[in-house]
Amino acid sequence: MTALADAPTVRPRPARAWRAVLRLHRAVLIGWAVLVAAVSGVLLWAYGPGGNDARADWQRQCTGTGTGTGTGTGTGDICSWSDAISHYHAAYTVAEMVIGWVPYLVAAWAGAVLARELERGTARLAWTQGVSPTRWLATTLAVPAVLVTAGSTLMVLLHRLLFDAHKVPLSWNWWNDETFTANGTLAVAYPLLGFAVGALAGQLQRRALTGAGLAVAVMALTVTTLGFARPHLWPWATSTGGDYETPRNVLYGDGGAVTSTGAHIADPMCRDSTACLKAHDVTGFYSEYHPASHFWPLQLVETGIVLAVTALVLAAAFTLLRRRTA
């Protein structure tokens, strides 16, 4: 009896909060892993055999020169896509579409989960088990955010690998909304904003369906607004000359006429009328554009804005939770 009394007391180790989150949402997280694996497989196929076959057919059927620099057959005929080109086009289009949907899926999931746990009272039950409301919200968001960030980063790296390897078809431009997002840090930043928006929407609605709906609506508004603002987040490059001349592979902005003093004015639409051009003091024309070298400045500025908004929305979500649970 003395030996038993002197034995040290072994206290049970408290459960890790992140393990509870993994168990609770394992079905969704497994689905995310499957989605990432599928998109990664599609991108790798397009980078390898799919891209090689498509590029060979594109050069043979759509350029007539074998160099991949034209847009026709060399005889004026319309280019006819082969199955290899169509399958390649479908592969990267679907991959970009899925990457673009991720922020909305994340926002809907976060809004529904937070609202459901508050509605059913499971959140309050967790708070009685030694987990503070702040820690509960932080863990609920942080664990899936880490996994989503890892998966999104992998898909972005594979997408960039594919984009740099095959320029098929020629209409795949760096400034297209889907390509621009999937090719850089925005594809990682927007899902983080989705978590933040979902956390706030779930607390405001406290109903799974309405919480998810509000989160998706706010995400759509934010993405659309930043999409319209994107070309203006970095100074335009400008070219001047006798016509609206810009380099190839650029995002065209605005243009107009140039006077003898160097001022930029609206195009008076004189066409070839020398008298009209002289009357408006027009000596040339200018064009504003973003070259491919502006990709990363535009990408990083928008990413910074998204992360700043994410921080503000998260601060609002945690503040609201503390006030309601004080």
Tell me what pLDDT residue 66 has: 43
Reported confidence tier of residue 4, pLDDT bands at 50, 70, 90: very low
- The secondary structure element, H or E, covering residue 254 is strand 251-259
Indicate if the pLDDT at residue 309 is higher than 70: yes
The mean pLDDT of the chain is 84
More confident of the two residues 139 and 317? 317
Q: How many residues does the chain have?
A: 326
Which string of DSSP letters, residue by residue, matches 181-208? HHTSTHHHHHHHHHHHHHHHHHHHH-SH
User: What would the mean pLDDT of 292-311 be, rounded to a whole number?
Assistant: 96
Task: Please indicate, yes or no, whether the overall pTM of this predicted structure exceeds 0.75.
Answer: yes
Q: Is the pLDDT score of 306 beyond 70?
A: yes
- Continuous segment of H or E residues that includes residue 147: helix 133-165
Select from 37, 41, 43, 29 the least CA-distant residue to 148: 29
Higher pLDDT, 39 or 131: 39
Rg, the chain, Cα only:
27
Q: What is the pLDDT of residue 169?
A: 65
Q: Give the burial class of 147: count Cβ atoms within 10 A of its Cβ; 0-12 exposed, 13-18 middle, 19 or more buried.
A: middle
251-296 residue pLDDT tens: 988 888 888 888 888 888 887 788 888 888 888 888 899 999 999 9
pLDDT interval class at 222 (50, 70, 90): very high
| 8-42 residue pLDDT tens | 554 444 456 666 667 777 888 899 999 999 999 99
Quick one: which H or E segment has residue 238?
A: strand 237-241
The edge-to-edge listing of strands for the beta sheet with 264-265 is 237-241, 282-290, 251-259, 264-265
